[in-house]
Structure formats: structure tokens, C-alpha cells
């Protein structure tokens, strides 16, 4: 009874928020200047406003631009603070909602830090699973949940299973297929049932290792592929027998940096074309959803096609736009912020008057 009341109240509050703001959130996170940048005298071009946490300004010698998001995380903000804002959205997968969380930005801006984190400063992925176990335990008398984890990489429009056997030798070609109920599936993808956070941590580690196998330069490869963690939740309501199945996708996107046309050729050119194509396809899908356009162009990339059933409708989406504060990255930072503003359908305003 208590659970049902709580669940109804949560849904009511959630619907209220949705009516006001829609179900797409864009969060911006700025990393701190790193040691090398401090040593070489780089300065920060990002200015925050102490009175609110939804706007920032990019200040350069000849311009000042203001950007507005659903939330802005400053360099000093902790992984806990970031997760506190993400938690209500990711845990709604237990109520039967499909959820997608993306980290977007130039390589080196903290996408992996936000999603994976480090062993002693864990990110959204691990904290999410920890929370899902916690909440499903609390609901034990009313709901029974089964959690499954899959991990894959999308590189040059090819899907590779990171938990599959011989994942270093991707003989098994995975592709997106439409299931009988109209949802998108990836037949053959390994789904590992998980019972506790230790198992999850081991799986996440082995997935990350599989990702770098075969790469001449692991860091470079990971910056040029999308890494997707999918959590499947199967729930059974013990009171009325109703069953739910929902997906939560946690996506560390390929680096958004533009590669100079002149110095790139061969494989590298092909890669950057695939990355541009899939990132702009993702931007197109989210902005079409935000503006409530009737045609949503899901089929333009593997990424959006695979996520089709989890983007749109009453699905929830969070995009973390990661930026660097350094003056040396100004161009890429503006590109990322412009992309995010377009996605959110928010106009960029003129800089606020300095007082
Ligand atoms: P990306 O995945 O975007 O290429 P990384 O997550 O690898 O970037 O981050 C680059 C470096 O910056 C890493 O050493 C990471 O630990 C550090 N870093 C990123 N964001 C933060 C942050 N908010 N606080 C502290 N260090 C960070």
C-alpha cells in the first residue's frame, strides 16, 4: 500500500515536471584546468554566476556568450553532486520508463570521468547500479526485479559486444533488428544477470578491458567509438502480477572534436565521418523530439536506430555536455555548447550586462 501510494505520488510529480519542461534534460559539466594547463599558463574562459546554477558565460578577448542549461556543474563539483541530479531519472527505469543518459564532448573533457569515473571516485554507471539494487531491495515486498547488464561499442557504424566471448575477435556481427512488438533489439548481445554491485564492478572492468584489446592506442580508440552500457530491468508486481521490462542506456559518446580535413586521410577520415554522422544524427533526433516534430529521423545512424525505443515517447533523456575551461579549447567548447543548445531548442542569448 505504502509503495503504491509512493509510486503514484512519484508519477504525479513527474508528470507535473514533464508538462512544464519536457522529458529531455541537458546538463553541462566543466572540468577543472589540469596540471599541464596550469603549468603552461592557460586561463579559463568559462564564467559562472554565483546566484544561479543554470547559466554560464564563455568569455574570450573579442566576445562573450551566454548559455543556459537545465543545470550547470562547476569544476569543483563532486561525482556525488552530479549523481544526485541524475538519480531520480535513472531510478525511474524501475517504474517501467526507458531512460538514456549521454556524455557528449571533446576528448579529454571528462565524459569517461562522468560515466565510468575512477576506482576511488566512481561515476554515474556504477552509482546507478548501486542505487537500483538499493531501491529494488526496499521495494522487495511489492516488486520483484531482475537486472541484466550488456555492454557494447559502436565503432565505424559496427556494433561490438564487450561482454561476449572472444570480444577481441569480433567474428559475431551484431545488428539492430525490429522485434515483434516493434521495439529495437540487438539479437545475440550478451545480457549478464547481475545480483550485486561487486559483480557489476567486475563486469564493467572486463567490458572496459575488452574495449581496448586490439587497439594500438587504447585512449585514441576509445575516443573514436561510442561505449554503451545497457541495463535491462524486468519487474513483476507481486500484488497484481503485472510485468514490466525497461531499458536504461548509459552512453559515453565518441569525442566530438572536429578533425582538420587536410591532415586526415584513409582510416582516420572514415572514422571521423562516421563519428560526425552519428553525433549529428543523435542531435537531430533529440532536437526533433524536443521540438515535438512528427518525423523523428532514427534511422540515420546505428546509435539512434539502436536507441529508438528508448528515445522519445515518455522515455527520459539526459545529455551531459562536457567542456574544458581552457582558452586553448575555446573553439571546441563553443561547438559543444552550440550543439547542446540546438539539441535543447534553447536560443543563445546575448551576454548579460556586467554590473
Ligand atoms: P573524455 O572521456 O572526455 O576523453 P576523461 O574522462 O578521460 O575525458 O577525462 C580526461 C582527464 O580529466 C582524466 O584524467 C580525468 O580524470 C580528468 N577529469 C575529467 N573531469 C574531471 C573532473 N570533473 N574533476 C577532476 N578530474 C577530471
Q: What is the pLDDT of residues 293-303, one digit of tens each?
A: 888 999 999 99
Residue nearest to atom 22 of ligand 1 (CA): 31
The pLDDT of residue 61 is above 90: no
SS3 helix, strand, coil % of the chain, rounded to 5?
A: 40, 25, 35
* Dist. CA 27–CA 47, nearest whole Å: 16
Per-residue pLDDT at 318 exceeds 80:
yes
Helix or strand run (H / E) with residue 8: helix 2-21
- Angstrom CA distances, 184 to 155, 175, 177, 231, stand at 19, 10, 6, 15
Quick one: pLDDT at residue 270?
A: 83
Tell me the pLDDT tens digit for each residue of 156-170: 899 999 998 654 555
245 burial type by CB count under 10 A (0-12 exposed, 13-18 middle, 19+ buried): middle
Element (H, E) at 289: helix 266-290
| 223 Cα–ligand 1 center, Å | 12
Q: Quick one: which atom of ligand 1 is closest to the CA of 115?
A: 6
| pLDDT at residue 319 is higher than 90 | yes
The alpha carbon of 181 and the centre of ligand 1 are apart by a number of angstroms equal to 40
Strand runs (DSSP E) across 54-120, as ranges?
Answer: 55-59, 64-68, 71-73, 99-105, 117-118
Tell me what pLDDT residue 34 has.
Answer: 96
Helix/strand number for the chain, H first, E second: 10, 16
Q: How many angstroms does the Cα of residue 112 sit away from the middle of ligand 1?
A: 7
State how far the Cα of 149 lies from the Cα of 137, in Å rounded to an integer: 18
Q: How confident is the model at residue 23 (pLDDT cuts 50, 70, 90)?
A: confident
Rounded to the nearest whole angstrom, what is the distance from the C-alpha of residue 276 to the centroid of ligand 1?
22
**Would the CA dihedral through 137, 142, 143, 144 be positive or negative?**
positive
Cα separation, 349 vs 66, in Å, equals 6
Q: Percent of the chain scored above 90 by pLDDT?
A: 65
> Which one-letter DSSP state was computed for residue 229?
E
CA dihedral 94, 87, 325, 339 (to 10 degrees): 40
Test site for ligand 1: of 27, 28, 30, 31, most ligand atoms within 8 A of the Cβ: 31
Provide mean pLDDT across the span 224-231.
94
- Please give the distance of CA 17 from its chain centroid, rounded to a whole number: 21
Say if residue 109's pLDDT is above 50.
Answer: yes
**What ipTM was estimated for this complex?**
0.99
The predicted structure's pLDDT at residue 262: 52
Query: 326 C-alpha to center of ligand 1: Å?
Result: 13
Tens-place pLDDT, residues 334-351: 999 999 998 887 544 444
Which among 111-125, 202-216, 303-317 has the top mean pLDDT? 111-125
Least confident of 54-68, 151-165, 184-198, 257-271: 257-271
A 10 A CB-CB count for 59 gives 17
Match 543548445 to its residue by C-alpha cell: 341
Q: How far is the CA of 326 from the CAs of 36, 71, 330, 331, 350, in angstroms?
A: 11, 20, 7, 10, 22
Instruction: Taking residues 306-327, report their average pLDDT.
Output: 93
Q: Which of 107, 88, 85, 82 is nearest to 29 (CA)?
A: 82
Closest CA to 279 of 317, 247, 318, 252: 252
Residue nearest to atom 21 of ligand 1 (CA): 31
CA distances from 225 to 152, 159, 215, 322 (A): 10, 10, 12, 16
Mean pLDDT score, 316-339? 96
- Using the mean position of ligand 1's atoms as its centre, give its distance from the Cα of residue 109 in Å: 6
pLDDT at 348: 43
Q: pLDDT tens digits, residue range 244-256?
A: 999 999 999 999 9
Q: What is the CATH number of domain 83-328?
A: 3.40.850.10
Residue 166's pLDDT is what? Answer: 56
Q: What is the pLDDT of residue 313?
A: 81
pLDDT of residue 355: 36
Average pLDDT, the chain: 87
Average pLDDT estimate for 263-286: 84
Greater model confidence, 117 or 9:
117
Q: What is the pLDDT of residue 169?
A: 57
Q: What are the pocket residues of ligand 1 if the criterion is a CB atom closer than 6 Å to any ligand atom?
A: 31-32, 105, 107-113, 223, 322
Q: In this predicted structure, what is the pLDDT of residue 354?
A: 37
DSSP secondary-structure letter at 107? T
Amino acid at each position: 500500500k505504502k509503495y503504491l501510494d509512493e509510486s503514484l505520488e512519484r508519477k504525479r510529480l513527474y508528470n507535473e515536471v514533464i508538462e512544464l519542461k519536457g522529458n529531455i534534460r541537458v546538463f553541462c559539466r566543466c572540468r577543472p584546468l589540469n596540471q599541464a594547463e596550469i603549468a603552461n599558463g592557460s586561463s579559463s574562459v568559462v564564467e559562472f554566476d554565483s546566484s544561479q546554477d543554470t547559466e554560464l558565460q564563455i568569455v574570450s578577448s573579442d566576445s562573450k556568450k551566454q548559455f543556459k542549461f537545465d543545470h550547470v556543474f562547476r569544476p569543483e563539483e563532486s561525482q556525488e553532486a552530479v549523481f544526485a541530479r541524475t538519480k531520480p531519472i535513472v531510478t525511474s527505469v524501475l517504474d517501467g520508463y526507458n531512460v538514456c543518459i549521454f556524455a557528449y564532448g571533446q576528448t579529454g573533457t571528462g565524459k569517461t570521468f562522468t560515466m565510468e569515473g575512477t576506482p576511488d571516485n566512481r561515476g554515474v554507471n556504477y552509482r546507478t547500479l548501486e542505487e537500483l539494487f538499493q531501491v529494488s531491495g526496499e521495494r522487495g515486498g511489492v516488486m520483484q526485479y531482475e537486472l541484466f547488464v550488456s555492454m557494447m561499442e559502436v565503432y565505424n557504424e559496427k556494433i561490438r559486444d564487450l561482454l561476449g566471448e572472444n570480444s577481441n575477435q569480433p567474428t559475431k556481427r551484431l545488428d539492430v533488428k525490429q522485434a515483434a512488438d516493434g521495439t529495437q533489439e540487438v539479437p545475440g548481445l550478451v545480457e549478464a544477470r547481475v545480483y550485486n554491485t561487486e559483480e557489476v564492478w567486475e563486469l564493467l572492468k572486463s567490458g572496459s578491458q575488452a574495449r581496448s584489446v586490439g587497439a594500438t592506442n587504447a585512449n585514441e580508440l576509445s575516443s573514436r567509438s561510442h561505449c554503451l552500457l545497457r541495463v535491462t530491468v524486468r519487474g513483476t508486481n507481486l500484488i497484481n502480477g503485472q510485468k514490466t521490462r525497461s531499458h536504461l542506456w548509459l552512453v559515453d559518446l565518441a569525442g566530438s572534436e572536429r578533425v582538420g580535413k587536410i591532415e586526415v586521410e584513409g582510416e582516420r577520415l572514415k572514422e571521423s565521418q562516421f563519428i560526425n554522422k552519428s553525433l549529428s544524427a543523435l542531435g537531430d533526433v533529440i532536437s526533433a523530439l524536443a521540438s515535438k516534430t512528427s518525423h523523428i529521423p532514427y534511422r540515420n545512424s546505428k546509435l539512434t536506430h539502436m536507441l529508438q525505443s528508448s528515445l522519445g515517447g515518455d522515455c527520459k533523456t539526459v545529455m551531459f555536455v562536457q567542456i574544458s575551461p581552457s582558452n586553448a579549447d575555446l573553439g571546441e567548447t563553443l561547438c559543444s555548447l552550440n550543439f547542446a543548445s540546438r539539441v535543447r531548442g534553447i536560443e543563445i542569448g546575448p551576454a548579460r550586462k556586467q554590473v
